[in-house]
Structure 1
Amino acid sequence: MIDFGILQQGLAMLASPWTFLALSAGLAGGILIGALPGLTATMAVAVLAPFTFFMEAAIGIPFLLGIYKGAIYGGSIPAILVNTPGTAAAAATARDGYAMTVQGKSRKALELSLYSSVVADFMATLVLILVAVPLATIAIRFGSPEFALLYLIALTMIATVSGESFLKGLAAAGLGLLVACIGLDPMSGYQRFTFGNTDLLAGVSLIPLLIGMFALSEILMQLTHPPSAQESAGRVQHGGERLRWAEFWALRPTLLRSTSVGAFLGSLPGLGAEIACWIAYGLARGRSREPERFGKGSPEGLAAAEAGNNAVVPAALIPMTVFGIPGDTITAVLIGALMAQGMMPGPLLIQQNPGFLFGLFLVLLVTNVLLLVFGLAAIRWLKQVTRIPPSVLYPCVLLLCVCGAYAVNSSRFDLLILAFGGGLGYLMRRTGFPIAPLIIGLLLGPGFETAVRQSLVFSNGSLAIFWSRPGSLALLCLLALVIVVMAWRGLKPQGAASRLPRSRRMKSHNAKGGDS
Structure 2
Amino acid sequence: MDAILGGMALVFNLETMAVILACAAFGVFLGAVPGLTATMAVALLVPVTYFMDPIPAIAAMVTTAAVTIFAGDIPGAYLRIPGTPSSAAYVDEAYQFSLRGKASECLGVALVCSVIGGVAGTLVLIFVAPSLAEVALKFSSFEYFWLAVLGLSCAIFISSGSRLKALLSLCIGLFLSTVGLDLITGSPRFTFDVPDLMAGVNFIPVMIGMFAIAEVMRFSAERSADLKVAVKDSGKVFGEVRPALRKHWPSVLRGSGTGSLIGVLPGAGADIAAWVSYAVSRKMSKTPEKFGTGHIEGIVEAGSSNNAAVSGSWVPALVFGIPGDSITAVVIGVLYMKGMNPGPAIFLNGGEMIYGLFTVFIVANLVMLPVGYIAIRASKGFVATPPRIVMPIVLAFCVVGAYAINNSDVDIILMLIAGLAAFILGLASFPIAPIILGLVLGGLLEKSFMTSMMRSNGDLTEFFSRPISAGLGTLVLVVWFLPLIVRLLRSLRRPPLQLPR
Report the TM-score range of the alignment, normalised by the length of the smaller protein: over 0.9
Tell me how far 1:322 sits from its aligned partner.
1.1
Indicate conservation of the 8 Å contact 1:72/1:89, yes or no.
yes
The AA in structure 2 aligned to 1:323 is: F
How big is each residue's C-alpha offset from its partner over 1:443-497, in whole Å with a ceiling of 9 and x where there is no partner?
11111211111111211221121011111111111111001135679x99xxxxx
Distance in 1 (alpha carbons) for counterparts of 2:298 and 2:356: 35
Alpha carbons 1:173, 1:438 under 8 Å: kept:
yes
SS in 1 for 2:379: helix
| Residue correspondence of structure 1 range 316-331 to structure 2 within 5 A | 316-331=313-328
Q: Distance in 2 between matches of 1:258 and 1:75?
A: 18
1:295 aligns with 2:322: no
Distance 1:295 1:127, change over 3 A: same
Structure 2: runs of 5+ lacking an equivalent: 495-501
Output the CA distance in 1 between the equivalents of 2:40 and 2:147.
26
Contact 1:166 1:487 in 2 (8 A): no
Q: Which residue number corresponds to residue 238 of structure 1?
A: 233
TM-score (norm 2): 0.93
Partners of 1:459 and 1:6 in 2: CA distance: 49
Q: Which position in structure 1 is the counterpart of 2:48? A: 51
Of 274-283 and 154-163, deviating more is: 154-163
1:176 pairs with one of 173, 177, 195: 173
Find out whether 1:208 has 2:205 as its counterpart.
yes
Cα distance, 1:208 vs structure 2: 1.0
Structure-1 residue corresponding to 2:498: none
Classify the secondary structure of the residue corresponding to 1:250: helix
Q: Residue in 2 aligned with 1:481? A: 478
User: Alpha-carbon deviation of 1:345?
Assistant: 0.7
Structure 2 CA distance, aligned partners of 1:226 and 1:256?
44
Does structure 1 residue 262 correspond to structure 2 residue 259? Answer: yes
Distance 2:109 2:275 in 1: 18
Does 2:331 correspond to 1:334?
yes
Q: How many angstroms apart in 1 are the aligned matches of 2:212 and 2:368?
A: 26
Kindly indicate whether the alpha-carbon contact (under 8 Å) linking 2:229 and 2:386 is maintained by their aligned counterparts in 1: no
- Is the contact made by 2:112 and 2:241 (CA closer than 8 Å) also made in structure 1? no
Instruction: Report the CA distance between 1:159 and its aligned residue.
Output: 2.2
Structure 1 position 174, deviation (Å): 1.8
The equivalent of 2:70 in structure 1 is 73
Residues 353-410 of structure 1: per-residue CA shift (max 9 Å, x gap): 1321111111111122211010111111122212110111111111111111111111
CA distance in 2, matches of 1:406, 1:78: 20
Superposed CA deviations along residues 275-307 of structure 1, whole A, max 9, x for unmatched, are 111110011111112111111100112212211
Establish whether residue 407 from structure 1 lines up as the match of residue 410 from structure 2: no
- In structure 2, relative to structure 1, the CA distance for the partners of 1:463 and 1:115 (3 Å cut) is same
Deviation at 1:330, TM superposition (A): 0.5
1:1-150 aligned at under 5 Å gives the runs: 4-150=1-147
1:326 to partner: Cα distance: 0.4
Cα displacement (A) at 1:224: 2.1
Match of 1:279 in 2: 276
Aligned residue pair count:
488
Query: What residue in structure 2 maps to residue 510 of structure 1?
Result: none
Q: State the alpha-carbon separation in 2 of the partners of residues 133 and 313 from structure 1.
A: 17
Whole-Å Cα distance in 1 between the matches of residues 182 and 2 of structure 2?
52
Give 5+ residue unaligned stretches, structure 1: 493-497, 503-516
Identify the range of structure 1 (451-460 vs 347-356) with the bigger mean alpha-carbon deviation: 347-356
Cα gap change, 1:11/1:234 in structure 2, threshold over 3 Å: closer, same or farther?
closer
Task: Determine if contact 1:80/1:93 at 8 Å carries over to the other structure.
Answer: no
The 2-side partners of 1:349 and 1:457 are apart by 36
Alignment correspondent of 1:389: 386
Inter-CA distance 273–314: structure 2 relative to 1 (3 Å threshold): same
User: Structure 1 pair 488/291, CA: closer, same or farther in 2 (3 Å)?
Assistant: farther
CA distance in 2, matches of 1:244, 1:332: 34
Q: What is the letter of the counterpart of residue 264 of structure 1? A: L
1:223 and 2:225 aligned: no
| Match in the other structure for 1:359 | 356
Q: What does residue 421 of structure 2 align with?
A: 424
Query: 8 Å contact 1:26–1:65 — kept in the other structure?
Result: no
State the Cα distance separating 1:189 from its structure 2 match.
1.6
Q: Give the C-alpha shift of residue 236 in structure 1.
A: 2.6
Which amino acid in 2 is paired with 1:157? C
Q: Distance in 2 between matches of 1:6 and 1:334?
A: 23
Inter-CA distance 487–179: structure 2 relative to 1 (3 Å threshold): farther
TM-score (norm 1): 0.91
Go from structure 1 to structure 2 and tell me whether the alpha carbon gap of 1:462 and 1:227 turns closer, same or farther (over 3 Å shift).
farther
In 2, Cα distance between equivalents of 1:423 and 1:238: 31
Aligned equivalents of 1:368, 1:307: Cα separation in 2: 12
Letter aligned with residue 467 of structure 2: P
Q: Residue 442 of structure 2 is aligned with which of 445, 463, 472?
A: 445
Q: Establish whether residue 313 from structure 1 lines up as the match of residue 302 from structure 2.
A: no
Tell me, in whole angstroms, the C-alpha distance in 2 between the residues paired with 1:125 and 1:448.
29
Of 452, 457, 460 in structure 1, the residue corresponding to residue 454 of structure 2 is 457
One-letter identity of the residue aligned with 1:48: L
How far apart are 1:195 and its partner, in Å? 1.9
The residue number in structure 2 matching 1:304 is 301
* Contact 2:225-2:386 at 8 Å conserved across structures: no
- Give the superposed CA RMSD: 2.1
Bigger shift: residues 360-369 or 266-275:
360-369
Change (3 A) 1:446 1:175: same
Amino acid at match of 1:239: S
Provide the rounded CA distance (Å) in 1 between the counterparts of 2:375 and 2:471.
Answer: 43
Structure 2 residue aligned with 1:347: 344
Give the CA deviation at 1:222: 2.2
Deviations 1:91-130 (A, max 9, x none): 0231211100001111211111111111111122111111
What's the % identity of the aligned pairs? 38
Q: Please give the alpha-carbon distance, in whole angstroms, between the structure 2 residues aligned to 1:296 and 1:375.
A: 25
Q: Residues of 1 paired with 2:126 and 2:373: CA distance?
A: 27
